[in-house]
Amino acid sequence: MSVTAEQNENAAANETIDLRRDYEESGVGEVLDQLDRELIGLKPVKTRLCEIAALLLVERARKRLGLVNEAPTLHMSFTGNPGTGKTTVAMRMANILHRLGYVRRGQLVSVTRDDLVGQYIGHTAPKTKEVLKKAMGGVLFIDEAYYLYRPENERDYGQESIEILLQVMENQREDLVVILAGYSDRMDKFFTANPGFRSRIAHHIDFPDYSDGELLQIADKMLDHQNYYLSPEAKVALADYIEKRRQQPHFSNARSIRNALDRARLRQANRLFAHTGGALTANQLSEITAEDILASRVFKVAAESQNQ
């Protein structure tokens, strides 16, 4: 008895070493680190990704030992408020899953309702199938997925598309991963109307709103990419801006910040034209000052509402 037990134990011990080596060889750690560096906040998303990565590595080890393994379902749904990074993460997902060896080719096919649903009877099925064929071996990303289902029109072809999607999601799990994304409230409604979808999606990931500090970091990063930087006063002004903007309607997290920065760049350009004559240094061209940000309408609106 002791011999076989020992052998088993040895095999098991070797496998633990392998798992660690697997982890290093697969480059997963690198991908996750990169994600951590480049995407700010999004704690629940990152946690879930780590879990998935771990699961896939363990599955691979199990397969090598001949233990029962069934391809895990990796269909996902990303829900969250506007501008919380759903699309950005989905774009990276294909790359991550490819590195993990879960999808074979790693291409991302990004579609919306228009690409799936046809305009007349008999048009929808070939169209949806065509898209699915393109996505085989990779990730199919359906943005604003709730538009697929239009309850107000009972003859809507969206339902047909949903049926085909469901069938492929179930039968060809190892061939493609489907990611749905959309705003929380509408996706909830969508899932209530299509319970089949909810149960076929293993990972429902909710994207939380960013905190003020995180938004400031994001702003820094965005500007850095475009070779701009904020002066210290501008940084204070932007922090103030974020706080005030959040109180106002149509706040959409990182997207609002991106728009605000785009407008600040406009004002900076205008200021450079108006006030500086002659030669400009690279430094002047890339600095965004407090006045570029304080000129925003947001501050006026905030002041008015306080006066009332």
Partner 1 sequence: MRITQGQFSFLPDLTDEQIAKQVQYAIEKGWAVNIEFTDDPHPRNSYWEMWGLPMFDIKDAAAVVSELQACRKVYSGRYYIRISAFDATHGWESLRMSFIVDRPAEEPGFDLERQEVDGRNIRYTTRPYATNKPSGQRYS
The residues binding partner 1 (CB under 8 A) are 104-105, 107, 126, 132-134, 136-138, 172, 175-176
Span between the terminal Cα atoms of the chain, in Å: 85
Question: Of 49 and 176, which has the nearer Cβ to partner 1?
Answer: 176
Q: How near is the Cβ of 104 to partner 1 at its closest, in Å?
A: 6
Question: Of 115 and 188, which has the nearer Cβ to partner 1?
Answer: 115
Q: How near is the Cβ of 105 to partner 1 at its closest, in Å?
A: 4
Identify whether the C-beta of residue 206 lies closer than 8 Å to the C-beta of residue 44.
yes
Question: Of 89 and 94, which has the nearer Cβ to partner 1?
Answer: 94
* Cα distance between residue 295 and residue 68, in whole Å: 63
Q: How near is the Cβ of 70 to partner 1 at its closest, in Å?
A: 18
Question: Of 144 and 175, which has the nearer Cβ to partner 1?
Answer: 175
Question: Of 165 and 216, which has the nearer Cβ to partner 1?
Answer: 165
Q: 271-299: buried (b, 16+ CB within 10 Å) or exposed (e) per residue?
A: beeeeeeeeeeeeeeebbbbebbbbbebb
Burial tier of 303 (Cβ tally within 10 Å: 0-12, 13-18, 19+)? exposed
Q: How near is the Cβ of 134 to partner 1 at its closest, in Å?
A: 6
Q: How near is the Cβ of 69 to partner 1 at its closest, in Å?
A: 18
Please choose, from the candidates 125, 135, 30, 39, the residue with its C-alpha nearest in 3D space to the C-alpha of residue 86: 39
Question: Of 19 and 136, which has the nearer Cβ to partner 1?
Answer: 136
Question: Of 18 and 175, which has the nearer Cβ to partner 1?
Answer: 175
Q: How near is the Cβ of 267 to partner 1 at its closest, in Å?
A: 44
Instruction: For 149-181, give the DSSP string.
Output: --TT-TT-THHHHHHHHHHHHHHTTTT-EEEEE
Q: How near is the Cβ of 308 to partner 1 at its closest, in Å?
A: 58
* Cα distance between residue 214 and residue 85, in whole Å: 12
* Cα distance between residue 197 and residue 162, in whole Å: 9
Burial tier of 2 (Cβ tally within 10 Å: 0-12, 13-18, 19+)? exposed
Please choose, from the candidates 148, 67, 92, the residue with its C-alpha nearest in 3D space to the C-alpha of residue 115: 148
Element spanning 139, H or E: strand 139-142
